[in-house]
Amino acid sequence: MKNINLLILDDKEENIISLSALLSDIENINIICSTNPNEALKLCWKNDIALALVDVQMPEINGFEFVSLLKSNPKTSHIMAVMVTAISKEDKYLIKGLQSGAVDYLYKPLNPEITIAKVTSFIKQIHIQEEIIQKNIELEESKKALIKANQEAEQARKSKEIFLANMSHEIRTPINGIKGIVHMLKNAYLSLEQLDWINRLEIASSSLLLIINDILDISKIDSGMMKIEMEDFHFTNLLLDLEQMFKIKASDKNLEFDVVLDPKLPTHVHFDSLRLEQIISNFVSNSLKFTEKGKITLTVESLEKKDEIHRIRFSVSDTGIGIKPDSVDKIFLAFEQGDDGITKKFGGTGLGLAIVKRLAELLDGEVHAKSIYGQGSEFSFIVDIKEVKDKVKIKRETNLPYSQFPKLNPINVLVAEDNELNSFMLAHMLQTWNCKVTVVKNGRLALEALEKDNFDLILMDTHMPVMSGFEAIREIRGNIDPTRRQTPIITISASVLEHEQQAAFQVGADEVIGKPFEPTELYQKIIKIYGSGKVNNLPF
Ligand code: ADP
């Protein structure tokens, strides 16, 4: 414990000697004495005095004045002052002392026990106060450190987000080009052998896209940016579509694929269909990957029903390689695989199940895995799903090649895109649908083109040199000839990050498409813009 400096101020030397002697047994104090108030003030400034015992009756400056001087100076105002007096115990003196800033009185002749008890208790108080001050300083420091760590974490999160946005743009742009050319080639006259090559190319580019999507998904979930989007949809149709899709994939590997549906299941539900599909697909894809012979079964059952809420269990079982017991728990962690040999033999990033687990949590559901090594595994997802009674319009995607989509009435489209492969592919797609197409390479050239010609629609890439898509849209919506300001704009962005897509709407885009996109998506957005009355032209 730190020693405390105690000042005794009394004009009579003998009083100082007797009081010092009285206090000499108290531990952890240094006694500093003075007979002169002026000298005592200087001592208080220079030394770290915590407690002052001040005689009241002194010539020149009396005790009350001395304590007032102490209290009025910020350097000494913290000092605890105790008046030592021989004058009466009348209230008016007491009050005067307390008003000057003293905390207590000691009366002469001093009672040794009371004096020691009071001084000891003040010293204890001072120690406690010092501890509180020290704790406050530490608290303030840790608050500052916490704020700094928070700022650093926020900065790191932002850098990660920017890195992801850039990376997703850089990787998605070429994949978009590859997928587009694949679409174009599928519309060309090809021999069966060439068609087979193109199919392989399509599979390879799709799996590349799956990997980049997985990386983006996990980062989006971790940074709290993954949104759950609830909608009404035809539940049984979704399950049957999955059955159709995976039956083909299973038969390619000579595997059986069965879907067992509980008759108690609702036909229409309100849930996030995209994420549900992602979870089931992930389980089934893994089973397909890790099963060489036998059977894969998707079972969907309603465990219980309360009002319109069904507790539904989706389970996928297989007769594959199984998982070692000590690995079952860790496979839901990011980048973890069953055992080290898996990567070599089957590839994969170890992200799929980590995404599934996080998605399940976002959906308030739970995932489980059971496995017998060498015999097979069962993965399940249990969640509450709300049944809807109203019939829902079933969303169906067409499998037609884009060259066979119904022709549009001729519209004049401006495409602003710096990537040649993408603009070439977009132009081809639009021309197939009957559109007249002008291609420019940046926002500045788009503005110039708009001055020369009337366009019905603008497709605007967001990241372009010289002038970005966002800058160009701002110019179009604010500054060009008023008759052309309202030209519908669809932005095409390789970024899948929500805030970037929102930013596109904020600057004035009518629709946003992420790269790579399916031709139907662009086609449907064009039809939607027609439907909005912004284009004086019927679609067909
Ligand atoms: P990936 O398949 O990309 O490695 P996942 O997160 O989807 O990543 O799976 C993690 C690991 O879990 C796999 O590497 C594999 O060891 C194990 N696993 C997942 N599903 C199965 C399955 N059906 N049968 C056997 N092992 C599986």
What is the CA(275)–ligand 1 centre distance, in A?
Answer: 19
Q: What is the CATH number of the domain that holds 475?
A: 3.40.50.2300
- Write out the two tokens for 416: 């602003």
Q: For ligand 1, is residue 206 a contact (CB within 6 Å)?
A: no
Predicted pLDDT of residue 540: 47
Q: Examine the domain organization and report whether 262 and 371 are in the same domain.
A: yes
353 in ligand 1 pocket by Cβ < 6 Å? yes
Does the Cβ of 294 fall within 6 Å of ligand 1?
A: no
Closest by alpha carbon to 178, among 148, 213, 207? 207
Q: Which domain holds residue 290?
A: 231-387
Atom 4 (ligand 1) nearest CA: 350
The verdict on 241 and 185 lying in the same domain is no
Å from CA of 211 to ligand 1 middle: 14
Q: Is residue 539 part of a domain?
A: no
What SS3 state is found at 73? Answer: coil
The answer to whether residue 135 is domain-embedded is no
Structure tokens at 528: 């939607």
Q: Hey, whose CA ends up nearest to atom 7 of ligand 1?
A: 352
Classify residue 392: in a domain, yes or no: no
Digit-coded pLDDT (tens) for 1-49: 788 999 999 999 999 999 999 999 898 899 999 999 999 999 999 989 9
Tell me, yes or no, whether 396 lies in a domain.
Answer: no
Q: Can you state the percent helix, strand and coil of the chain, rounding each to 5?
A: 50, 20, 30
Q: Output the residue whose Cα is nearest ligand 1's atom 14.
A: 337
CA of 433 to the centre of ligand 1 (A): 43
What is residue 86's predicted lDDT score, i.e. its pLDDT? 80
Is the domain of 245 the same as that of 367? yes
Does residue 442 sit in the same domain as residue 372? no
Do 357 and 450 lie in one domain? The reply is no
Decide: 465 and 456 in contact? Cβ < 8 Å: no
Whether 244 and 341 share a structural domain: yes
31 falls within a domain: yes
Decide whether any atom of ligand 1 lies within 6 Å of the 29 Cβ.
Answer: no
Contact 64, 56 (CB under 8 A): yes
> Ligand 1 atom 19: the closest Cα is on which residue?
286
Number of domains in the chain: 4
Instruction: State which residues of the chain have pLDDT below 70.
Output: 87-90, 165, 334-349, 390-400, 495-498, 531-540
Assess whether the C-beta atom of 320 lies below 6 angstroms from ligand 1.
yes
Of 330, 314, 328, nearest to 381 by C-alpha is 314
What CA–CA distance (Å, rounded) separates 539 from 288?
A: 42
Res 394: pLDDT: 45
Does residue 218 sit in the same domain as residue 249?
Answer: no
